Structure 1
Amino acid sequence: MDTKKLRVGIIGAGGIAVNAHLPNYEKCLEKIQLTAIADVAKEKAIAAAEMFHIDSAYDNYEEMLKNEELDAVSICTPNKFHAPAAIAALEAGCHVLCEKPPAITVDEAEAMTAAAEKAGRILTYGFHFRHTQQVAALKRYIDADELGDIYAAQVTAVRRRGIPGWGVFTNKELQGGGPLIDIGVHMLDSALYLMGYPKPETVLAASYQKLGNKKGVGVMGDWDWENFSIEDMARGMILFENGASLTIETAFAANVEKLDVMDVSLMGEKGGADLFPLQIYQEKHGTLVNTTPAYLPKTNEHELEITRFVDACLTGSIPLSTPEQGLYLQQIIHAIYTSAERGEAVKISEL
């Protein structure tokens, strides 16, 4: 084995590992070696190891971290296990790419951040929408001050009947919540990233369980509606310390026209934009103009995410997503759920 290669381990052998992480690590084999994989269902770990030519399979990630000399780890478990797995990997001297969301609680996200700092290792999160060409292009416009001060944003992650019929997505104990913590975080992170990740101050939110706990049409398969323990919709408004505001609407099931909408709208003093598809709105030379890219390169955001993580591990460069940003995001998620539960606005500093 080339000792200069990054020795990679995988914790969790479910869909996100098999469909996103492992196929794209395989594209980096000149730089990495897929060394080990662990899953509590060992048959899944063995199957993934055979499929992707991984040397070792375990049913316990702690045993994997103890027995294998790993340099980097991908965390692909249900949300409940993100923090303990990430902290264990960091303490074992590994760089960590943890799937979104960072964790279930703010305390867990803080502990992960502290563990990364103490270990002197990279901790980054799987917000793959950041790696899309739309986000990259709009970021260039923002960096060139084409939008000016961005003072308002709208985040949408809404499905008409898109409750996942597989996995543990409807299990609050394992996931920490529903569409907000699953798909909402992607658009929320994209918006915050483009806004410069302002510090959140106050949140007012509401959540609903109106459709998911009833039998109905499932665009993404039949779900276990009798054991549906999450929200099917969450809505909220976030005020930031710099005076900016953001509204968010996220749902697995809602009576709306389109089956699936994932988008971010930004409004600034000099211009505004919608992200998916990318359009920029400005006033120039006495004219209201819309700018639409004629061409954006076709890229695989999961591939870019993995490639950039590998390069960061090998070069020491700063990843696109940082632990501090993940902590801010976790604070907002917690505040939205807390505000919805209390039925009143909450200040993040008081939670």
Structure 2
Amino acid sequence: MADKSVGTQSFATQETKSAGKKVRTAVIGCGMISNVYIDAMNRIPEFEIVGGCDIRKERLDWFTKKTGVTAVYEKWDDLLREVQPDAVVVATPNGVHMPASVAAAKAGCHVMTAKPMAMTPAECRQMIDASKKAGKLLAVGLQFRYRPATEMFVRARDAGDIGDIMYVKCHALRRRGIPNWGVFGQKELQGGGPLIDLGVHIMEAAHYCMGSPKPVAAVGNIWTYLGNKPCATECPWPNWDYQTYTVEDLAVGHIRFENGAILQIEASYAAHIERNRYNIQIMGSKGGFDWESSSLFTDRAGTMLTSTPAYTPDDQMITWFTAKMKNFVSGILHGTPLRAPGEAGMAIQKMLDGIYRSAANGGREVAID
């Protein structure tokens, strides 16, 4: 059944309502992506940022300078005990999402965790169980479901313009974009490379567009051929740490769903292609959709038609982040259903895990429980 949580109006334009209530929120992990979360919360009057946590003193100094908040800690247990926030944003490397989120839930906090939800489906289950036991919300930062193209497609789908979705093809490809900062190349901290870093965005938006069918099987292959070598080509992000690079450069996956639909994904930090590509192509029995161009392909009155929007709402990262944080705070204060609850994050994690498990077994099909 299709998820009809997207109405005729973008959530990004809806106002949350409160009677002066504030959700006291702390940030665990003060790296690059926390900057966007902080900017988003600063746009929403219901949030009050009350503390920060990071193992690096320079990032704590940055956090205090940006927010004016001096309650900063190197250990999240100290933060949770002394600040006692209502909610936390977990913006750490992937391998820390689960322990930080579980600790926050046990301390009585609602949790927004960055994508991907965790390293494995089992970790996702621990996070979900901890939040349910505490009676608190667990949201996953899957912001691509707030993008205008995604919302446009869901409206067309729910209006009956697409019919049964049979096949979806996803691309998250950089010509040369191996991160030269952070720990993106370290499998033990991230769980994988471009598939779990870039592909997760496209995969979650595609799965959401499909109506979130149940995945049942996966086939995958991965290759490493550039990231584990010194940079030898002029490119935007040179001099990555090839000596610690243990993730893939290119991943290709194939997901089969319970309803018979198929999703194919390609993700790469370094693909020999003309240009970067981030796109979803959806093929249905009555119509199709190209996510990058927001084009709808249908037949009407004996004619094949291609429709594109005359107006597209603001499509910037800060807008998507603001929308998902509005949904989160509205869920806390008013019981608004989360557009990306923990269960949605775990479904995506199961697909990622299936592709990696298949790749580790020579590309043979594996079951997804």
Q: Answer yes or no: same fold by TM over 0.5.
A: yes
SS in 1 for 2:43: helix
SS in 2 for 1:297: coil
Letter in 2 for 1:60: K
Q: Report how many residues are paired.
A: 345
Unaligned runs of 5+ in 1: none
Corresponding residue number in structure 2 for 1:315: 334
Corresponding residue number in structure 2 for 1:345: 365
Residue 220 of structure 1: how far off its partner (Å) = 2.6
Q: Does 1:132 find its partner at 2:147? A: yes
Q: Does 1:237 find its partner at 2:246? A: no
Measure, in 1, the Cα distance between the counterparts of 2:103 and 2:336: 22
State how 1:254-333 maps to structure 2 within 5 Å: 254-258=271-275, 260-299=276-315, 300-333=319-352
Measure, in 1, the Cα distance between the counterparts of 2:202 and 2:262: 15
Residue 348 of structure 1: how far off its partner (Å) = 1.4
Between the aligned residues of both structures, percent identity stands at 37
Letter in 2 for 1:287: T
Letter in 1 for 2:311: Y
- Asked if the contact 2:162–2:284 (Cα under 8 Å) also holds between the matched residues in 1, the reply is yes
Measure, in 2, the Cα distance between the counterparts of 1:128 and 1:60: 27
Corresponding residue number in structure 1 for 2:13: none
SS in 1 for 2:225: coil
- Asked if the contact 1:152–1:246 (Cα under 8 Å) also holds between the matched residues in 2, the reply is yes
Residue 69 of structure 1: how far off its partner (Å) = 2.2
Measure, in 1, the Cα distance between the counterparts of 2:84 and 2:354: 39
- Asked if the contact 1:155–1:188 (Cα under 8 Å) also holds between the matched residues in 2, the reply is yes
State how 1:175-194 maps to structure 2 within 5 Å: 175-194=190-209
What CA deviation, in whole Å up to 9, does each residue of 1:204-247 have, x standing for no partner? 11000012122233423421122210000000111111111111
Decide whether aligned partners of structure 1 residues 220 and 309 sit closer, same or farther in structure 2, where only a CA change above 3 A counts: farther
- The alignment's C-alpha RMSD in Å is 1.4
- Asked if the contact 1:71–1:93 (Cα under 8 Å) also holds between the matched residues in 2, the reply is yes
Q: Does 1:227 find its partner at 2:244? A: yes
Q: Does 1:4 find its partner at 2:21? A: yes
Residue 46 of structure 1: how far off its partner (Å) = 2.8
Corresponding residue number in structure 1 for 2:8: none
Corresponding residue number in structure 1 for 2:5: none
Residue 3 of structure 1: how far off its partner (Å) = 8.3
Measure, in 1, the Cα distance between the counterparts of 2:260 and 2:118: 27
Measure, in 2, the Cα distance between the counterparts of 1:305 and 1:53: 24
Residue 97 of structure 1: how far off its partner (Å) = 0.7
Residue 157 of structure 1: how far off its partner (Å) = 0.2
- Asked if the contact 2:51–2:70 (Cα under 8 Å) also holds between the matched residues in 1, the reply is yes
Please identify, of 183-192 and 91-100, the stretch whose mean Cα deviation from structure 2 is larger.
91-100
Corresponding residue number in structure 1 for 2:34: 17
Moved over 4 A (4+): none
Corresponding residue number in structure 1 for 2:66: 51
What CA deviation, in whole Å up to 9, does each residue of 1:108-156 have, x standing for no partner? 0111111122122111111111111111111111111110111110011
Output the TM-score relative to the length of structure 1: 0.95
Please identify, of 305-314 and 328-337, the stretch whose mean Cα deviation from structure 2 is larger.
305-314
SS in 2 for 1:273: strand
Letter in 2 for 1:318: P
Residue 47 of structure 1: how far off its partner (Å) = 2.1
What CA deviation, in whole Å up to 9, does each residue of 1:240-281 have, x standing for no partner? 1111111110000011111x1111111111100011121111
Unaligned runs of 5+ in 2: 1-18
Measure, in 2, the Cα distance between the counterparts of 1:255 and 1:23: 35
